[in-house]
Amino acid sequence: MAQLRRLHLQTEIKCSPDKLFDVYKNKISLLANISPDKLRSIEVLEGDGKTVGSIRLWTYVLGDSVVAKDRIDAIDEENKSITFDIIGGEVTKYFKSYKATIQLFKEGNKNMVKWSVEYEKMNDQVPDPTAQVEFLVGMAREVDAYLVIN
């Protein structure tokens, strides 16, 4: 029987949660410029790329150059979180379902970014997507570093 699993990884950031949230919500096209070694392009296929229901095609590098098609499922302005449902591309070869959520918040006097992935594997031989979550956190760190100096 298939089982829904979750992975979480968070790290401290230097910029404000509002600033990083704004990039992931409203300026997603900047990511390929900020982190070209990880992300080649983001193409909006449906919607405006910023609102719930929008569908985007990401070309990124995780070992090889791969693609993922996502749909924005939820945006929570108050909690500064965005949930993406992966609906196509490499990930869907290995996972029946795969949702990623980024959340930006303050923890005491620290600014934090947390990526959470909820997934269901196609079979037990598929490894947990630890490398993908580390990739997402690494990219958020690169965007944070860019925002601190710009």
Higher pLDDT, 64 or 22: 22
The stretch 131-136 carries a mean pLDDT of 92
pLDDT confidence of residue 62: 81
**pLDDT over 50 (residue 1):** no
Q: What is the pLDDT of residues 31-70, one digit of tens each?
A: 999 999 889 999 999 999 999 999 999 999 887 778 999 9
Cα dist from 138 to 9, 34, 74, whole Å: 10, 12, 22
The stretch 9-37 carries a mean pLDDT of 94
Do 72 and 84 meet the contact criterion of CB atoms below 8 Å apart?
Answer: yes
Question: What backbone torsions phi and psi does residue 40 show, to the nearest 5 degrees?
Answer: -85, -45
**Which secondary structure element, helix H or strand E, spans residue 143, and what is its range?**
helix 130-149
| CATH H-level superfamily of 5-149 | START domain (3.30.530.20)
Quote the CA–CA distance of 2 and 6 in Å, as a whole number: 13
pLDDT confidence of residue 31: 92
Q: How confident is the model at residue 17 (pLDDT cuts 50, 70, 90)?
A: very high
Q: How confident is the model at residue 2 (pLDDT cuts 50, 70, 90)?
A: low
